[in-house]
Structure 1
Amino acid sequence: MFEKNLTIITDKKFKTKNEVISYLANLNNQNVIVPSDYEKDVLERESVVSTYIGFGVAIPHAKSYSLKSPFVIYAKFTEGVKWDESDEKVNQVFMIGVPKSENGQDENSRLHLKILSELSKSLMRSAFRDDLIQAKKEEEVFKLLKTIEEGMNL
């Protein structure tokens, strides 16, 4: 679910949350069949309610027919981006993708909720957030993220 190539620390500057979502949706990601469709699904979900959770973190997510398997992209960038009406800017994003099924009630739906739940629990711990902020290399971040996955017993 967490993959090294989907763990990114960048000094790229983004002007809007839509730019961030577009950039992440269009990464070289073997889990995505049609990046533009996945991007559209994430933006559509984001239009329903903001995924900004505080602490400079947003968790945009979507179930999509354009995905092969579940994944989480992590991105940290130096300059924050205004995500919603809040004055606080986002500089860390966890973007979740889970394949959508025809009936909508399947193992992937449960997995989607489990990922959101475990990620939220981890982010509520200030020590975990501090470790993410202090990590300077993608490898350091990846090791932290793998602890979440290990705790999920997948």
Structure 2
Amino acid sequence: MSENILTAKTIELGASFDNQEEAVRYVGGMLRDQGYVTDEYIEQMLEREEVTSTYMGNFVAIPHGTEAGKKAVKETGLAIVTVPEGVEFGSGNTVKLLIGIAGKGDEHLEILSQIAIVCSEEENIDTILNAQSKEEVISLFNEVE
């Protein structure tokens, strides 16, 4: 995975949220603060959740913007947040791992495939959730090519 897509600045370990909207806004804010997206993209991420939940199972959600939100993407980026206590997504789905995506053009497809590879292994999700450092998370994603 490209070095500038996932950095220590786009990883937050041990966060806590009261609800899904707060969690999505937080992940979107991380993408914005690193210059990947504009504020408009965060609203598009929330709109996506209204259309269809980004909950993927296995305690994982992958918040991202709608098709219309693509114009708010400045460059491809990724934000990862662990939520040890979990946050409810939709009705009864608990999310402990949030992976926010902003993809320029079709680059999000490559990122999604790498995320799918990592998250298909339950032990990888456990590794991320139990990570003691941001570097552990980065190295796990960098192993996937």
TM-score category of the 2 structures, normalised to the smaller one: 0.7 to 0.9
Question: In the TM superposition, what whole-angstrom CA distance separates every residue of 1:38-78 from its partner, at most 9, and x where no partner exists?
Answer: 11111112222111111111011125222211011000022
**Aligned equivalents of 1:134 and 1:23: distance in 2?**
20
Alpha carbons 2:27, 2:98 under 8 Å: kept: no
Alpha carbons 2:118, 2:141 under 8 Å: kept: no
**Aligned equivalents of 2:18 and 2:125: distance in 1?**
24
**Aligned equivalents of 2:18 and 2:71: distance in 1?**
28
Q: Which has the larger radius of gyration?
A: 1
Query: In the alignment, residue 144 of structure 1 is paired with which amino acid?
Result: L
Aligned length: 136
Query: In the alignment, residue 21 of structure 1 is paired with which amino acid?
Result: V
Q: CA RMSD in A?
A: 1.6
* 1:78 aligned onto 2:84: yes
Report the TM-score, using the length of structure 2 for normalisation: 0.84
Aligned with 1:61: secondary structure? coil
Which structure: greater strand fraction? 1
Alignment-derived partner of residue 6 in structure 1: 10
Which structure 1 segments of 5+ residues have no match? 100-107
Percent identity over the alignment is: 26
* 1:91 aligned onto 2:87: no
After superposition, the Cα gap between the structure-2 partners of 1:90 and 1:115, relative to the gap in structure 1 and judged at 3 Å, is same
- Of 120, 133, 139, 1:137 maps to 133
Aligned with 1:135: secondary structure? coil
Please state how far the C-alpha of 1:116 moved relative to its aligned partner: 1.4
Report the TM-score, using the length of structure 1 for normalisation: 0.80
Which structure 2 segments of 5+ residues have no match? none
Alignment-derived partner of residue 34 in structure 2: 29
**Aligned equivalents of 1:126 and 1:92: distance in 2?**
12
Any runs of at least 4 consecutive aligned residues in structure 1 with deviations exceeding 3 A, and if so which?
none
